[in-house]
Chain A
């Protein structure tokens, strides 16, 4: 865990304390579907938490609660001690979520997608904005796409634009929903490096939802595993190398068994 816990805002050069996240007994139902069941954990300021778990286990829903896009059925989510869903929290804490789908503004060019936040909040003049946007695009090898519309990009490019758009915001709390799922191994490694170095340089508190084991083992301070709406594991990545829980072990290193395939076991 990092020693200092301050995020330096590169615009104002003012140091703001790094923020922590706390999830207490979070339960979420969509009608009769119980998606999250009494999930509790805390993320320390400046920590990187990697969340893993099977598809449909509620990871994206959990992230949406942390940015306040969903309201808990029961329980509480706080960011920096304040209710995640309140507008005051959004005013106080700069949060960015890289959506699983990218959620790019389809009517705006890539450049304008990245510039929107800075323009709307008047954080820099056009020259300053250009510099920040082009820098973010360069980090993610996207220089050639600035003028393109999202519809003209490949899946992986859209994902990288979404990450670049979040980087430009220079957030105190950064949430990534499967940032590397559509990327090649080299690009995935680059993303892992970016996530880690943001924490080193700016002490950005980070939660990454990912199926990428390399990413989890290399950059996580702690790993959480969400299964069927419950947090079944939370601990340092070293503990995952020899997991005690057989369910966790099978999730992380599933054996491909051609004699007894899983889908056939389901049929009986």
Chain B
């Protein structure tokens, strides 16, 4: 019972924060510096790990698919499998998970520490709403950067699949053939579908992590607890949302 009220409360306060932040969207041009800084934090610093992980996920996909497809002699279709799985599912979900771990945790830690050390209170007394200065630029940056990360993830993943397909003995497919199949079966819509998913996940992760950070109460120990909670809640939400968003989009 207690947990259910806690979940409902969390949901309510997140929604409230969302509405407030959207109300401040008009101040974005004035906060351009903060927006760019957050774009850098979300995009640039997450890029290397997104690239590395996507490369290996694409590779493993090709390897596993090659292993099972050789039974039917259908290795030449490997490009379609890697292309579609990366674009529609693995790319966006993996980028969202990385954003939760890399960016969401940092946001929760920063805002929780600001709350615990009364910096948020100081902002409120200065009549500077935290939703405007701390949340809105981050949300805007997530909208811009997460799809970019997902697109890069797709491309690197496809590339990883191509390399594995060429150099694995049981597959041995030239990149030209691999990409020809990939292009034939992976449509623009599939890629867009994945980017929309990434957009939704990234936005929700950043929003939830901001809210958990700002609702931290107590001493420094609670900062750590908030970070853990922010990441766990984000991961659960990504996977639950994934199911529903996939169902709506297909």
**Nearest CB in chain A: distance from B101 CB, A:** 22
Roughly how many angstroms separate A259 CA and B114 CA in the complex, as a whole number?
47
B28 contacts chain A at the CB level, 8 A cutoff: no
Query: Is the CB–CB distance between A103 and B118 below 8 Å?
Result: yes
Stretch of A51-59, A115-123, A237-245 at the chain-chain interface:
A115-123
Which chain B residues numbered 108 to 130 have a C-beta less than 8 Å away from chain A? 110, 113-114, 117-119, 121-122, 124-128
A101 contacts chain B at the CB level, 8 A cutoff: yes
Query: Is the CB–CB distance between B128 and A103 below 8 Å?
Result: no
B225 contacts chain A at the CB level, 8 A cutoff: no
A209 contacts chain B at the CB level, 8 A cutoff: no
Interface set of B (CB-CB < 8 Å, partner A): 110, 113-114, 117-119, 121-122, 124-128, 133
Q: Tally of A-B residue pairs with Cβ under 8 A?
A: 47
Interface set of A (CB-CB < 8 Å, partner B): 64, 67-69, 90-91, 94-97, 99, 101, 103-107, 116-117, 120-121, 169
**Nearest CB in chain B: distance from A70 CB, A:** 10
Query: Is the CB–CB distance between A69 and B133 below 8 Å?
Result: no
Query: Is the CB–CB distance between B117 and A169 below 8 Å?
Result: no
**Nearest CB in chain B: distance from A121 CB, A:** 7
B133 (CB) vs chain A CBs: closest residue: A120
**Nearest CB in chain B: distance from A71 CB, A:** 13
**Nearest CB in chain A: distance from B21 CB, A:** 16
**Nearest CB in chain A: distance from B210 CB, A:** 16
**Nearest CB in chain A: distance from B221 CB, A:** 17
Query: Is the CB–CB distance between A116 and B125 below 8 Å?
Result: no
Query: Is the CB–CB distance between A69 and B124 below 8 Å?
Result: yes
Query: Is the CB–CB distance between A120 and B121 below 8 Å?
Result: no
Given contacts A104-B119, A120-B128, 9 further A-B contacts (CB under 8 A): A96-B126, A97-B125, A99-B118, A103-B117, A103-B118, A116-B128, A120-B133, A121-B127, A121-B128
25 interchain pairs, CB-CB under 8 A: A67-B125, A68-B125, A69-B121, A90-B124, A90-B127, A91-B127, A94-B127, A95-B125, A96-B125, A97-B125, A99-B121, A99-B122, A101-B117, A104-B119, A106-B113, A106-B114, A106-B117, A107-B110, A116-B126, A116-B128, A117-B126, A117-B128, A121-B127, A121-B128, A169-B126
Query: Is the CB–CB distance between B126 and A103 below 8 Å?
Result: no
Roughly how many angstroms separate A136 CA and B46 CA in the complex, as a whole number?
40
Contacts of B128 in A (CB 8 A): 116-117, 120-121
Main secondary structure of the interface of B (DSSP, over half): helix
Roughly how many angstroms separate A198 CA and B126 CA in the complex, as a whole number?
19
Specify which of A91, A103, A107 is in contact with B121 (CB 8 Å cutoff).
A103
Q: Please provide the 4 A-B residue pairs with the shortest distance between their CB atoms, ordered closest to farther.
A: A103-B118, A103-B122, A90-B127, A120-B128
**Nearest CB in chain B: distance from A30 CB, A:** 11
Specify which of A103, A121, A169 is in contact with B119 (CB 8 Å cutoff).
A103
Query: Is the CB–CB distance between B119 and A105 below 8 Å?
Result: yes
Roughly how many angstroms separate A64 CA and B118 CA in the complex, as a whole number?
11
Query: Is the CB–CB distance between B126 and A120 below 8 Å?
Result: yes
Contacts of A64 in B (CB 8 A): 121
Roughly how many angstroms separate A95 CA and B124 CA in the complex, as a whole number?
10
Roughly how many angstroms separate A152 CA and B118 CA in the complex, as a whole number?
18
Query: Is the CB–CB distance between B126 and A106 below 8 Å?
Result: no
Roughly how many angstroms separate A90 CA and B129 CA in the complex, as a whole number?
11
A175 (CB) vs chain B CBs: closest residue: B125
Roughly how many angstroms separate A105 CA and B110 CA in the complex, as a whole number?
11
Contacts of A104 in B (CB 8 A): 119, 122
Contacts of A96 in B (CB 8 A): 125-126
Contacts of A94 in B (CB 8 A): 127
Query: Is the CB–CB distance between A69 and B127 below 8 Å?
Result: no
A105 (CB) vs chain B CBs: closest residue: B119
Roughly how many angstroms separate A107 CA and B114 CA in the complex, as a whole number?
9
Roughly how many angstroms separate A107 CA and B128 CA in the complex, as a whole number?
16
Roughly how many angstroms separate A99 CA and B125 CA in the complex, as a whole number?
10
Roughly how many angstroms separate A103 CA and B123 CA in the complex, as a whole number?
10
Roughly how many angstroms separate A69 CA and B126 CA in the complex, as a whole number?
11
**Nearest CB in chain A: distance from B2 CB, A:** 16
Roughly how many angstroms separate A151 CA and B158 CA in the complex, as a whole number?
47
B132 (CB) vs chain A CBs: closest residue: A120
Contacts of B133 in A (CB 8 A): 120
A108 (CB) vs chain B CBs: closest residue: B119
Roughly how many angstroms separate A43 CA and B191 CA in the complex, as a whole number?
64
Contacts of A106 in B (CB 8 A): 113-114, 117, 119
Roughly how many angstroms separate A117 CA and B124 CA in the complex, as a whole number?
11
B27 (CB) vs chain A CBs: closest residue: A120
Query: Is the CB–CB distance between A69 and B117 below 8 Å?
Result: no
Roughly how many angstroms separate A116 CA and B125 CA in the complex, as a whole number?
13
Roughly how many angstroms separate A104 CA and B121 CA in the complex, as a whole number?
10
